[in-house]
Amino acid sequence: MLCGLIDVGRFDPAHLRHLPAVGESLDALWLRGPMLTYDEWLTWGTTIRELVPSVPLWIGGHIRAAQALQASGLQWPARYAWIKRGTTKWRGPVVASIHSLSEFEERQEADGFVWGHAFASRSKPGLMPRSRASLEEILKRTAKPVLAIGGINAHTVCDVVSWGVAGVVVGDGIWQQSQPEHAAAAIKQVWTQRKGDIIRW
């Protein structure tokens, strides 16, 4: 599974022109923008939907926006207190971001997990990648999908395929490349050749 990441704070809106072509390789698209107002969430979400209507849209941490946009899922950041099921009006799937085994244990209600960062990343300057040992332990303890994020591109994804994760979330590995659509297609090809699994949340 290849989930594209648009992190609004670090995303050049000019790259939106590439989105229709990039979208041909995506299984989902995650919109992240912790500083966005509600109206800005709707503007970004609506724009993305118009450009890639067939790609499932996931919203990062904003329940009201996810509801209004009829998003396919909600990604819940690690820095947010975990939302207990039944305490909100959101009834769709929730994928929890985790960085450690303890965070995984606190969020086991989630339908899936995003673990990272896997490699040195521009969004985490100066921080060492997370321990692979924690990922291996998490994978032993759950049958739910676990996706890797952080520093993944057409080169590093060749290592990730052997880790046992269900897919990858990629931002800069697509948008910071000279030809984003080719970068996305190369990453997707690795996963398709490996097993071609389709995740159904």
Query: pLDDT by residue (tens digit) across 111-125?
Result: 999 999 888 777 666
Which H or E run contains 64?
A: helix 63-68
Return the CATH architecture of domain 2-194. Alpha-Beta Barrel (3.20)
The answer to whether the predicted template modeling score (pTM) of the entire model surpasses 0.85 is: yes
With the CA atoms of 32, 35, 38 and 44 taken in that order, what torsion angle do they form, in degrees rounded to the nearest 10?
Answer: -40
pLDDT of 83 reads 86
Instruction: Show Cβ contacts of residue 44 under 8 Å, excluding neighbours closer than 6 positions.
Output: 6, 8, 31, 33, 36
> Cβ of 56: how many Cβ atoms within 10 Å?
16
Q: Which residue type occupies 89?
A: K
Give SS3 for 20.
Answer: helix
Percent of the chain topping pLDDT 90: 78
Instruction: Show Cβ contacts of residue 153 under 8 Å, excluding neighbours closer than 6 positions.
Output: 170, 172, 173, 177, 183, 187
**What's the chain's length in residues?**
201
Lookup: tokens for 114: 């995003």
| 37-54 per-position pLDDT tens digit | 999 999 999 999 999 999
The residue extents of the domains of the chain are 2-194
> Cβ of 74: how many Cβ atoms within 10 Å?
24
Q: Which residue type occupies 168?
A: V
pLDDT of 196 reads 61
Instruction: Show Cβ contacts of residue 154 under 8 Å, excluding neighbours closer than 6 positions.
Output: 173, 177, 183, 186, 187, 190
> Cβ of 68: how many Cβ atoms within 10 Å?
15
| 154-182 per-position pLDDT tens digit | 999 999 998 999 999 999 999 999 999 99
Place of tokens 């396919």: 72
